[in-house]
Amino acid sequence: MANVRAAEVVKRRLAVASRRLGTHNPVESIGGLLDRTFDLTIGDPRYGNNALVPGSMPIETSFSETSNNALRFEFEPLGPQASPLARQQEASREMRRLVQRYYGRAALHWFDSQTEQYRGSQLHGKARFGAFFGASYDDNGLHEAKVYYELGPNGLENLPPNLLHACRVAMGCLPSLVPFGVSIGCGRTQGAQRVYFFHRGDLRLLDLEPMMNRLGIGDKLPSILTALGLILGGRFVLPDGSAVIGLRDTSRGIEMRLDVLLSLINDPPRQMHGLIQMQLEQRPESLRALRHWFQAMTPDEYSSPGDISVVGARVAPNSGSRLTLYFRPVGYDQEPSRARQTLASDPYAVQAY
């Protein structure tokens, strides 16, 4: 595989996963962007220089309970030598093309109005990545496309009023929150905007209560404690930098998600896959979907899709905690062993650590 372009491997992996999941093949609509992004050979160490998955190929796949039949992935567009501004502009161009093609002029007008401040010709001086690109496909085609823009020091100023108010409430209740990004996505029926914050210093999960109460979702805190407390092996204090909070305004109120960056957690439970399965046993449909996703996303030469990089829990006024799991895909950094590994009878029980 020494002389194989990474783009060929990425496209082949996504095509195979789409067939196994029964979704539209993403390569048909974003193959050009994948070619421009992964033009170096597979295993090139320069790929590790990225802000999405530092040290690995800049691509993640994810499973979400709220879209459990979808093929979801995110990546840092263009190669490792591209500037943050180039990534911002490339992600914006690709997003506009897809929105126009799949959702029409009205959706494109909405996207342009929401992203005008992020599509300029300049970035703040401390920009690290500029933008990420994400997409989700189901059996009907493109389910959602999304751009994650890096925020500058004054990035919150032009948010929609309700979302801006929610961000101010959050930062008032948790002064250690630092906004660093905003995602703007377009789907078949609506668009969505979410703001992301890092938490500086340790975060006690119980300290979320005042903020969640003021946002109208305080009654959902127990479901977050139950889900993340179980999956993290009884850990209810998240170390410095490992907690990312996202806020989104919906027709039913503010939705909050809490993502935990496992690379910053000391000694995460080795049995995490089993703990996730235990959490989902109360929602059998989600558990079946995760097992199917796990099988579909696992390359033939391996026993799992990769290591879990992020565990997230999402709550809304009308919904308790729902999980999102991000994976650092296996097999992009080195050539797989020739010895084909055998999947266990329950593939999701296989340890990825």
In this prediction, residue 153 carries a pLDDT of 76
Backbone angles phi, psi at 149, to 5 degrees: -95, 140
Task: Decide the pairing of beta strands 177-187 and 191-199.
Answer: antiparallel
Mean model confidence pLDDT for the chain: 91
Q: Which amino acid is at 21?
A: L
pLDDT of residue 120: 72
Q: Which amino acid, residue 245?
A: I
| Alpha carbons 281 and 285: distance in angstroms, whole number | 9
Q: What is the DSSP letter of 151?
A: P
Angle between helices 27-37 and 84-103 (to 10 degrees): 170
- In this predicted structure, what is the pLDDT of residue 351? 30
The pLDDT, as a whole number, for residue 270 is 86
pTM: 0.91
Reading the block at residue 196, the tokens are 């992301």
> Which value, to the nearest 10 degrees, does the dihedral of the CA atoms of residues 195, 200, 203, 207 take?
-60
Q: What is the structure's pLDDT at 279?
A: 95
Token duo for residue 350: 């296989």
The tens place of each residue's pLDDT in the chain, 353 residues long, gives 558 999 999 999 999 999 999 999 999 999 999 999 999 999 899 999 999 999 999 999 999 999 989 999 999 999 899 999 999 999 999 999 999 999 999 999 999 999 998 887 667 767 889 999 999 999 999 999 999 999 987 789 889 999 999 999 999 999 999 999 999 999 999 999 999 999 999 999 999 999 999 999 999 999 999 999 999 999 999 999 999 999 999 999 999 999 999 999 988 898 999 999 999 999 999 999 999 999 999 999 899 999 999 999 999 999 999 999 999 999 887 544 433 333 333 333 333 22
Longest dimension (CA), the chain: 57
Residue 228 near residue 239, CB atoms below 8 Å: no
